[in-house]
Amino acid sequence: MRSTTVLSGAAAAVCVAAAAHAQSIVTLYPTADAHTRDVAPNENNGPSETLWIGRGSFWGLGNIRTFVHFDLLDLLPGNPNVIVSATLSAYQFDSEPAAGGLDTNVHHVLANWSENTVTWANQPAFDPQVWATAQTGSSGHRGWIDWNVTTLVQDQVSRQSHLGWMFKNTFESAGASRLGYFHSREYGVDPSRRIQLNVEIPAGDAPVMTLSYDSLRGGSNATFTATGAAPGQRVYFIYSLAGLGEQRIGQLGVTLGLRNPASAGDAVADGGGRAVLTRRVPPGASGRGVWVQAAHSGSVSNIVARVVE
């Protein structure tokens, strides 16, 4: 990404005093995710493109505990009071054949763990408190499943402590099984369907477009995709190294949710409202937080936040 002024020339950034705006959505993708099984206690599934969430004992697949970690503390506001809401979302693309779902709870993890080494046998300890619940595993459902983790995110941002979360079925010793299959952070066909955390904050305009990207690694190309744009519109991909804030772009008639934004480039949306930009991430960017948003005349996307690998 080039360190240039946002929409240089005809579309230069214009600062204005903060005004009342709808909330921006900040999307975080995991830095680590993996599922574990009690029937295969030494099995590690970190590299898999698929996450299992639920309980598969009826099919001989065992009790499942699924771990996920986000860069909460590096990428979200330090003040928990500005977090309006937080939703943990996973896209169920398949399941075992069973009607109806079963409760799957979110717990917070109490010890460090690694995506490439975590197993049922060495899994980290977790707090028994249930912070959010949603039903997974119904064969009649294909699509997003959401957990309301607002209180959990606010708590962990307040305490500046986040070691990850765990999905766990309510009952692991008896009862029915419901096992859903979801896309992990390694899933490359459609990055927007990876498991994700969407946090609502009071900054910028309400998102209309959806922004996602495949990866963010120093020295490698990153592909940014905006969907839901108006066909034929020039879409600007804008990033910040300074974090979240408000920045008015007068020529586009929008307010971004970024502080000190700069342009990564632009692309014209096709007939389906999809705009794609590929840019090389500087090698020296590794370890830095980056916040990216797309915009065109009258519309903005969600903000995707990530620490560069």
* pLDDT (0 to 100) of residue 214: 84
Strands 50-56 and 178-183: antiparallel
Residue pointed to by tokens 């169920």: 92
Q: How far apart are CA 277 and CA 265, in angstroms?
A: 7
Name the residue ranges covered by the structural domains of the chain.
9-23+204-307, 26-198
Token readout for 109 is: 């993890």
Class of domain 9-23+204-307: mainly beta
Whole-prediction pTM:
0.90
* pLDDT (0 to 100) of residue 19: 39
Distances (CA, A) of 202 to 22, 83, 257: 7, 8, 9
Q: Judging by beta carbons within 10 Å of its beta carbon (0-12, 13-18, 19+), is residue 81 exposed, middle or buried?
A: exposed
Q: Judging by beta carbons within 10 Å of its beta carbon (0-12, 13-18, 19+), is residue 84 exposed, middle or buried?
A: middle
Grouped pLDDT means (10 residues each) for the chain, 309 residues: 32 34 88 97 98 94 97 95 97 95 96 98 98 96 97 97 96 88 95 96 94 92 97 98 95 96 97 97 94 98 96
Where b means 16+ CB within 10 Å and e means fewer, 15-41 reads eeeeeebebbbbbbbbbbbbbbbeeee
Query: Which residues, 6+ apart, have CB-to-CB distance to 159 below 8 Å?
Result: none
Q: What is the pLDDT of residues 195-208, one digit of tens each?
A: 999 999 998 999 99
Q: What is the pLDDT of residues 217-267, one digit of tens each?
A: 999 999 999 999 999 999 999 999 999 999 999 999 999 999 999 999 999
Q: How far apart are CA 241 and CA 276, in angstroms?
A: 21
Q: Are 201 and 84 in contact (CB under 8 A)?
A: yes
